[in-house]
Structure 1
């Protein structure tokens, strides 16, 4: 029985990881290192308010979330817990690539910090947004509520809910189009998220992708040292160029948690550890048990669960 590590995506507005930072010296040392690479202070990375400007806010937020994901990994490694397969969504896919040895930590965090220089949207450009949607499960169901609506794109598929009654999706597009769709479909089936003004994983993010392309082209990628599951298609990434392609396409292509956990199941994973808070607990169905890790007490829970299930935790050690 083997262990898989799952990394969520997205940029939250609330601080995370403070308890881990206080509990573990390895986390404090790690945050100090990230601060040196990014030019941010530890406070900015850990728990201070994010900047107001959209692209700078997104950049600092990605540094914060990726730093926490790697910190959780490093805490578990202190207890000789190592994954046999790894993958994530969006930003989580990039953190997973780093921990699989496909890109150096320093290069990843320098790239995330550089993204703050992405040009802000021109004045007068229509506002963007994202929404959570709940679709039907099963064969023949529409790709998402409002499929074909102008200005609305399917940005993410998180798979069925734990009870199998519906499918959790993410939509992205123009805010006006999302609000109009939410008013047209049954109440609660499309929920625009307040304060989210970036249409992630949609063609509307092309400006960001083009701006970041030279930085990603300049990064050194190598073959992952353990099975790395893509979130852009059902695939194990085996070469550095495949990982580079994931980094380049990540901003504009839809993501799928189903592709990640199905790939892990095919790799023999029988326990998943979810790094950080960005994949909600208890809502989604997984093909194997999962333990969510955000606080120090979750670390002991992960160790106990792995022991009780007889999980092989030797895995592959990540490159630092």
Structure 2
């Protein structure tokens, strides 16, 4: 599982760049492709800088791909892969659909376009906790007279994110509280993602998607747009376009994976957001994460030691 925006934190790649030559090589390649000081940003960058969506997206994607390369070199062979919104790009790299270069270039443009859209279509996002998704959807419908507000993320059965015009999001949040939600948390994001307000960037991004090759998956990959399997490269290309304005169906991603079935859910990249969502959605889920040295070393212990790239001596 590859994480999306919200998983970034200061110093998130420090343990990788300090210890693993291959991680430094991947960051150097990413910096060459994007002309961005990604290593600096992911080691010493501040929270405010990392929160800028044009920085957040390539920073998270590069950190996740560095972890993926470490695990892949160690013999890690997942049964399937998926990514939460932005995380779908490294997931498609893992599945052989996108090259590293194409994924990073698309992620960089995606972040830039979304950042620009924030100025054109100011809005808000909020997480509704403790209320089933169908009741959150009803709250959005009730708030429709105040502007556009839609479900943006089906994260877990009792955590749903809404997105749209700020006034409509506020009214929908109050309606959700009236309907029994435990709390509504306004999210500190750069733009109202995963709703129709993002359609302003769709034409330019669609043209960019058309300029990159998409291969058919060599590893099963689940779409965060549909919650079902991606069957071809062309389908993957279209789903990345639809992802801009469509909701993230993470509950469906997890239930599809559970039915496959898979035995463990490994979060590849910074943070532990997706591990938590998996545990709260699937009662029997066994989760692993890689966002810090201890957890990365624990996963290393499950892999073939003779193929693992050992850390440099301190």
Q: Does 1:113 align with 2:108?
A: yes
Higher helix share: 2
Higher strand share: 1
Q: Distance in 2 between matches of 1:66 and 1:116?
A: 11
In structure 1, the partner of 2:248 is 255
Q: Secondary structure at the match of 2:245?
A: coil
Q: Which of 107, 130, 134 lines up with 2:129 in the alignment? A: 134
In structure 2, the partner of 1:215 is 208
User: Equivalent residues in 2 for 1:12-91 (5 A)?
Assistant: 12=7, 14-15=9-10, 16-41=12-37, 42-49=39-46, 57-91=52-86
User: Equivalent residues in 2 for 1:98-109 (5 A)?
Assistant: 98-109=93-104
User: Any gaps of 5 or more consecutive residues in structure 2?
Assistant: 305-314
Structure 1 residue 182, shift from structure 2 partner: 3.1
Is contact 1:88–1:260 with CA below 8 Å preserved after alignment? no
Q: Which of 183, 188, 212 lines up with 1:189 in the alignment? A: 183
Q: Distance in 2 between matches of 1:240 and 1:129?
A: 33
Aligned residues: 290
In structure 1, the partner of 2:152 is 155
Is contact 2:92–2:221 with CA below 8 Å preserved after alignment? yes
- CA deviation vs aligned residue, 1:171-221 (integer Å, no higher than 9, x gap): 11112222233344247432112x323111110111122221111111100
Q: Distance in 1 between matches of 2:111 and 2:174?
A: 34
Is contact 1:156–1:255 with CA below 8 Å preserved after alignment? yes
In structure 1, the partner of 2:292 is 295
Q: Does 1:246 align with 2:243?
A: no
User: 1:241 and 1:26, CA in 2 relative to 1: closer, same or farther beyond 3 A?
Assistant: same
User: 1:291 and 1:145, CA in 2 relative to 1: closer, same or farther beyond 3 A?
Assistant: farther
Structure 1 residue 24, shift from structure 2 partner: 1.3
Specify which structure has the bigger relative contact order, considering alpha-carbon pairs within 8 angstroms and separated by 6 or more residues: 1
Q: Secondary structure at the match of 2:236?
A: helix
Q: Does 1:95 align with 2:90?
A: yes
Q: Secondary structure at the match of 2:135?
A: coil
Structure 1 residue 285, shift from structure 2 partner: 2.7
User: 1:93 and 1:278, CA in 2 relative to 1: closer, same or farther beyond 3 A?
Assistant: farther
Q: Which of 146, 154, 165 lines up with 1:174 in the alignment? A: 165
Q: TM-score, normalised by structure 2?
A: 0.83
Is contact 1:38–1:110 with CA below 8 Å preserved after alignment? yes
Q: Distance in 1 between matches of 2:118 and 2:101?
A: 31
- CA deviation vs aligned residue, 1:124-167 (integer Å, no higher than 9, x gap): x56311111125349xx52546130222110011123xxxxxx1
Q: Distance in 2 between matches of 1:281 and 1:235?
A: 19
Q: Secondary structure at the match of 1:206?
A: helix
User: 1:227 and 1:11, CA in 2 relative to 1: closer, same or farther beyond 3 A?
Assistant: same
User: Equivalent residues in 2 for 1:254-273 (5 A)?
Assistant: 254-273=247-266
Structure 1 residue 303, shift from structure 2 partner: 4.3
In structure 1, the partner of 2:312 is none
Is contact 1:135–1:144 with CA below 8 Å preserved after alignment? no
